Amino acid sequence: MSGNTVGERIMLSLGQAAKQTGTAKSTIHRAIKSGRLSAQKEGNSYNIDPAELFRVFPVKRSATGGEEQLATPKENSVVQIELEVLRERTTQLEKQLADAHSQRDQWQEQATRAQVLLEYQTKEVSKNWLEKVIEAVRKGKGGARS
């Protein structure tokens, strides 16, 4: 079954609506006329929103007891396009996340190297300072002996 479309919404004709609900066209027509079911009239035919139809009439059950599904119309290509766009966006976001992790790792490595260098320089300054103190003490003691 292929329905009519209004905008991007799939709409059913009176006959299609009757088939989907397992009721007579006249029953659906009476529901439209009484205002119980809303529909858009185009010329001599009606466009019925499936959601509105199934609000008023239950979906016809198949012989197996399951609900019959509406055939997948070409209009579902909009959903397919949206799905492709979302998949592409997900791929982009995954790449951005991988880049962010890589940059984080590089910054952590750089911070670690800077910390090691700072510790080394601090030890060197302390070592030089200690050597100067020891040398000054020795000179002081040596000068006092002479």
**Domain check: are 43 and 83 in the same one?**
no
Q: Give the pLDDT of residue 64.
A: 53
- Domain end, chosen from 24, 46, 71, is at 71
Q: Give the pLDDT of residue 61.
A: 64
Confidence class for position 1, pLDDT limits 50, 70, 90: very low
**Domain check: are 63 and 127 in the same one?**
no
Q: Is 71 helix (H, G, I), strand (E, B) or coil?
A: coil
**Domain check: are 78 and 143 in the same one?**
yes
Q: Give the pLDDT of residue 130.
A: 77
pLDDT at 68 over 70: no
Provide the number of structural domains found in the chain.
2
C-alpha 35: how far from chain center = 40
Nearest to 68 by CA among 22, 34, 33: 22
Integer Cα distance of 3 and 9 in angstroms? 9
**Domain check: are 88 and 138 in the same one?**
yes
| Domain that includes residue 127, residue range | 74-146
Q: Which amino acid is at 111?
A: A
Q: Give the pLDDT of residue 109.
A: 94
Q: Give the pLDDT of residue 145.
A: 47
- Domain end, chosen from 18, 45, 71, is at 71
- Domain end, chosen from 18, 48, 71, is at 71
**Domain check: are 11 and 43 in the same one?**
yes
Confidence class for position 47, pLDDT limits 50, 70, 90: very high
pLDDT at 63 over 60: no
